Amino acid sequence: MAGVFVGAYLSGQTSEYFGPKKIMYGLLAIHGVANLVAVFSHLWEVFAAVSFFIGMAAGGILLSAYVTPLEFTGQFWRGVVGSIPTWNTGAALFAVSVIVLKDWRHLHIMAAVLSGLVFLPVFWVPESFRWLAVDSRDKEATAAITKIARMNGRPKSISS
């Protein structure tokens, strides 16, 4: 739990400096690698340290995974998207995977693979246009808004 607290706190702070997209995908990489390291840990001290990093990554990912989709959602759907019970659904699916896999090492492998799959959208999800605008990166913010508008089937011009 200490790792989750540290990750949640630091991800907000570092997202303001480096950008939420970089932090979220960095945390996904940490989560995947730490889960793979956990598979091969033979000492409880190593497993405890790796568990801290898994928790830290999970704490930061939880915040980013909630806020980021809301920026790319229109006003009408924002309430619906914000109320989707992703944490509860994920916890239930993880419980089912525990029943099916039964081995803790297999669970860590599964978590690492899922982190890798979630990492794939890095190539098409733009950086937060709000963060870019606040950071005075106007051209990049305009490009991000244009890309989001195109994905949502809206006009290309941000002024319309």
- Indicate whether 22 belongs to any domain: yes
Other CB atoms within 10 A of residue 126 CB: 18
Which residue intervals of the chain are DSSP H helices?
2-18, 20-39, 44-71, 75-82, 86-101, 104-119, 129-134, 138-151
The pLDDT, as a whole number, for residue 9 is 92
Domain of 101, CATH number, reads 1.20.1250.20
- Indicate whether 154 belongs to any domain: no
- Indicate whether 136 belongs to any domain: no
Residue 6 lies in domain: 2-123
Q: pLDDT by residue (tens digit) across 29-82? A: 999 999 999 999 999 999 999 999 999 999 998 888 888 777 777 788 888 888
Q: pLDDT by residue (tens digit) across 112-159? A: 999 999 888 877 778 877 788 877 888 888 887 788 778 777 776 555
What is the model's pTM? 0.82
The tally of domains found in the chain comes to 1
- Indicate whether 18 belongs to any domain: yes
- Indicate whether 147 belongs to any domain: no
- Indicate whether 134 belongs to any domain: no
Residue written as tokens 């605008």? 133
